Amino acid sequence: MTRSALAFGSNLGDSAGMIGRAIDALDAMVDVSVSARSSFYATPPWGVEDQPDFVNACALVETELAPLDLLTACKDLEVALGRVPGERWGPRLLDIDVLWMDGVALESERLTLPHPRMTERAFVLVPLAEIAPDLVVGGQSVEAWARNVQAGGIIKLEA
């Protein structure tokens, strides 16, 4: 089993409910086990700003899947839960990103690990630091990255 970090985002419909269903569905898969899940965070949109705020969360999973197979499982789950293609960084029912896999460095057309922009994005770092503060990416802990990124507007939602 390999430890991996996943990021979830949604800004259409019941976003927290959608992310919760996605995490539960991943945990129900034969080759994936969720070991930790963050709180939900309301975050301002990134990239395309003229849209509703997002709800974001992260999860740690243990998986027997290879990196590209985990990505495929996540993208298939997005579709199964109702996601339809749309504008890049635009509104979405559900987005799941593979951020990191223990001991894996990968660069392909479909997936780069660790995620090349995760250390720039507070909407990823804040929830990930909650569940994996000591995880090291790019020579620095997630907690340190989270302290050094502009996190204005991110609000932890009540459970």
Contact call for residues 144 and 154 (beta carbons, < 8 A): no
**Catalytic annotation, pick one of 21, 92, 121, 147:** 92
**Catalytic annotation, pick one of 83, 117, 121, 147:** 83
Contact call for residues 63 and 98 (beta carbons, < 8 A): no
Structure tokens at 134: 């000591």
**Catalytic annotation, pick one of 24, 76, 97, 102:** 97
Q: Is 97 a catalytic residue?
A: yes
**Catalytic annotation, pick one of 31, 50, 76, 95:** 95
Q: Is 95 a catalytic residue?
A: yes
Q: Is 14 a catalytic residue?
A: no
Cα–Cα distance, 100 to 121 (Å, whole number): 14
Place of tokens 């019941």: 14
Structure tokens at 51: 């849209």
Q: Is 92 a catalytic residue?
A: yes
The DSSP output letter for 51 is S
Catalytic residues: 83, 92, 95, 97
